[in-house]
């Protein structure tokens, strides 16, 4: 691999390290928080409703123009906002660590929403920074390294957090995560600044309106946006209640889940991410999205088999590794597509809007998934997650010329 596409490149290195900071809070308000509430004996509907904590990730485009327009008085347009949100996350996670789900479930839910809001704001700034700092030829491997470090963060806030909670308690675990979030400010401080020729919009109104006008002028944008919403839909549905499925339905321990689901699974996703990034230049963006999407769909069937067979550690670990590997490849291709669609002047707002669309399934499917499981059972639920993957692939075939165009624009 050339030096330009390796971690010796300061732009790729900074993006890689910021990927860790970006994803650390997501696990702490997602599957790990589900596990905490499950261990506390709260109901399936309560656990399923926790997916709504992620609503700020859907609506972050509403305040993203502020981050495009307003330049903090320190560290510049992108790094300044990144640092502000990282300090906020450190403080709120530390407060969250001192609470107990049984008497404080409702309050913890609202604080988790606040954490998600600050985390979503951090994502806006980091995604814009990544879009602005990487050269077009660096986007494939840069995105792969970014997702790689994001999965390491998932390993820490998922697998390591569950094992720590099993042995040291939930409150201690969340305090450690708060400290890690605070240390990420050092990464932001030393990251290179974006090129000076990328200027913010002249007015706040322009920052709020022009990014959307620019997107809506793209040929076939309606189908492109529908594809972005649906591409990870089946995968998101399959993973929405995974902690509850493994802990409550199959009676695996926290350590079992931490090692298999949050450790082996994330390692597999990292491998899939890196392989996906390496294959993208050879396959082209369209073929990568299609092949990785088909693989992602069929990997969901492994969980249907697991639901039928019952508690089996080897099958559980294999199912998780296969699904995670395929999910890593498909995520890399999708991130490259989103990056290619962004104009540098509006990157915060445009990437926030596009990535919010891609997260619709992850956020809204929790209560729906819980109802599906209650009425149809786990095996049929995972069978449905397989079928839901295919509408996006049909849209992709209709969009072949559009996706190919955006792939060529990255060369």
For the segment 258-281, what is each residue's pLDDT rounded down to a tens digit? 777 667 877 888 888 888 888 887
Query: Tens digit of pLDDT for each residue in 140-154?
Result: 777 788 888 887 887
Residues 6+ apart with CB under 8 A from 53: 29, 30, 33, 109, 112, 113, 116
The token duo for 60 is 């972050």
pLDDT digit string, tens, across residues 321-379: 888 899 889 988 888 888 878 776 677 788 878 877 787 766 667 677 778 888 888 88
pLDDT at position 100 over 80:
no
Q: Are 149 and 21 in contact (CB under 8 A)?
A: no
How far is residue 175's CA from residue 407's CA, in Å, rounded to a whole number? 43
Token pair of 234 as six digits: 């089946």
- pLDDT, position 83: 92
Q: Residue 254: pLDDT above 60?
A: yes
pLDDT at 2 over 60: no
Across residues 216-242, what is the average pLDDT? 83
* Rounded Cα–Cα distance for residues 99 and 97 (Å): 6
- With 80 as the cut, is the pLDDT of residue 72 above it? yes
Tell me: pLDDT of 87 over 90: yes
Is 3 a residue whose pLDDT tops 60? no
Element of type H or E holding 167? helix 161-168
Among the residue ranges 222-226, 248-252, 316-320, the one predicted with the least confidence is 248-252
Mean pLDDT of 124-132: 85
Q: What is the pTM of this model?
A: 0.70
**What is the pLDDT, as a whole number, of residue 352?**
78
Residues 368 and 384 sit within 8 Å (Cβ to Cβ): no
Predicted pLDDT at 409: 45
- Closest residue by Cα to residue 132 from 200, 178, 225, 58: 200
Residue 339: predicted pLDDT: 81
Helix ranges, 52-138 (H): 55-59, 64-69, 76-97, 101-133
Q: Can you spell out the DSSP letters for 132-145?
A: HHS-GGGHHHHHHH
**Greater pLDDT, 411 or 112:** 112
State percent of the chain over pLDDT 90: 8
CATH of 3-408, one of 3.30.70.360, 1.10.150.20, 1.20.1250.20, 1.10.8.60: 1.20.1250.20
pLDDT for position 88: 92
Domain boundaries along the sequence of the chain: 3-408
pLDDT at 408 over 50: no
Region 54-72: mean pLDDT is 80
pLDDT of residue 90: 92
Q: Say which residue, 346 or 245, is predicted with more confidence.
A: 245
> Mean pLDDT score of the chain, rounded to an integer?
81
pLDDT for 26 beyond 60: yes
| pLDDT (0 to 100) of residue 410 | 42
Question: What is the Rg, in whole angstroms, of the alpha carbon atoms belonging to the chain?
Answer: 20
Structure confidence by residue, pLDDT tens digits, 136-191? 677 777 778 888 888 788 778 877 888 888 888 888 888 999 999 889 899 898 88
What are the pLDDT digits (tens) for 369-379? Answer: 778 888 888 88
Tell whether the model's pLDDT for residue 107 goes beyond 70: yes
Distance in angstroms (rounded) separating the CA atoms of residues 49 and 359: 16
Give 220 or 206, the one with higher predicted confidence.
220
């Amino acid at each position: 691999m050339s030096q330009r596409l390796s971690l010796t490149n300061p732009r790729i290195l900074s993006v890689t390290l910021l990927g860790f900071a970006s994803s650390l809070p997501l696990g702490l308000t997602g599957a790990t928080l589900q596990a905490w509430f499950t261990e506390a004996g709260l109901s399936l509907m309560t656990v399923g409703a926790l997916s709504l904590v992620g609503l700020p990730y859907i609506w972050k485009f509403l305040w993203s123009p502020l981050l495009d327009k307003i330049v903090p008085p320190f560290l510049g347009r992108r790094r300044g906002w990144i640092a502000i949100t990282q300090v906020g996350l450190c403080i709120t996670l530390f407060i969250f660590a001192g609470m107990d789900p049984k008497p404080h479930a409702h309050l913890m839910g609202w604080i988790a929403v606040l954490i998600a809001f600050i985390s979503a704001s951090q994502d806006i700034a980091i995604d814009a920074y990544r879009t602005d700092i990487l050269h077009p030829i660096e986007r494939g491997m840069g995105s792969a390294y970014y997702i790689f470090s994001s999965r390491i963060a998932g390993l820490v806030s998922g697998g390591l957090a569950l094992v720590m909670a099993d042995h040291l308690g939930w409150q201690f675990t969340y305090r450690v995560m708060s400290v890690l979030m605070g240390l990420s400010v050092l990464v932001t401080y030393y990251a290179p600044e974006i090129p000076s020729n990328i200027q913010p919009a002249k007015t706040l109104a322009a920052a709020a309106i022009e990014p959307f006008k620019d997107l809506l002028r793209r040929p076939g944008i309606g189908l492109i946006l529908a594809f972005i919403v649906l591409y990870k839909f089946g995968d998101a549905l399959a993973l929405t209640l995974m902690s509850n499925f493994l802990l409550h339905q199959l009676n695996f321990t926290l350590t079992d889940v931490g090692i298999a689901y949050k450790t082996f699974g994330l390692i597999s996703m990292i491998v899939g991410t890196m392989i996906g990034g390496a294959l993208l230049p050879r396959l082209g963006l369209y073929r990568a999205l299609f092949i990785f999407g088909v693989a992602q769909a069929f990997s969901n069937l492994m969980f249907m088999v697991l639901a039928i067979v019952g508690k089996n550690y080897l099958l559980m670990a294999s199912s998780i590794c296969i699904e995670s590997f395929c999910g890593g490849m498909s995520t890399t291709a999708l991130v490259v597509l989103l990056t290619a669609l962004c104009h540098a002047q509006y990157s915060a707002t445009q990437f926030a809007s596009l990535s919010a669309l891609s997260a619709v399934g992850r956020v809204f499917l929790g209560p729906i998934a819980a109802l599906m499981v209650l009425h149809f059972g786990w095996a049929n639920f995972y069978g449905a997650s397989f079928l839901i993957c295919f509408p996006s692939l049909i849209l992709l075939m209709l969009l072949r010329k559009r996706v190919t165009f955006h792939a060529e624009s990255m060369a």
